[in-house]
Amino acid sequence: MDAYFLGELTGRLLASYFIAWFLCFLFVKLDIKRAFKVLHTFKGMSALSFVFLVPYLSHIGGLL
């Protein structure tokens, strides 16, 4: 693993976190505190994992 790959993973994880948080923010009717609480549950973490992994899976397996 080189620095470029680690930087890409870190950046993608942060971007995925903010995308998942924004979706939670919209689903809980624009309440910031509830959005953070929802994101740190099992459903929120699974949404974060999905948003993070879909681009990699689409390149590897031709998913999308």
Interval 53-64 mean pLDDT: 67
The DSSP 8-state label assigned to residue 40 in this structure reads T
Domain that holds residue 17: 3-61
Minimal CA–CA distance to 47: which of 38, 55, 56? 38
What pLDDT does 60 receive?
66
pLDDT in tens, 7-46: 888 888 888 888 888 888 888 888 888 888 888 888 888 8
pLDDT in tens, 29-40: 888 888 888 888
**Confidence check: pLDDT of 61 > 80:** no
CA distance 47 to 21: 9
Domain count across the chain: 1
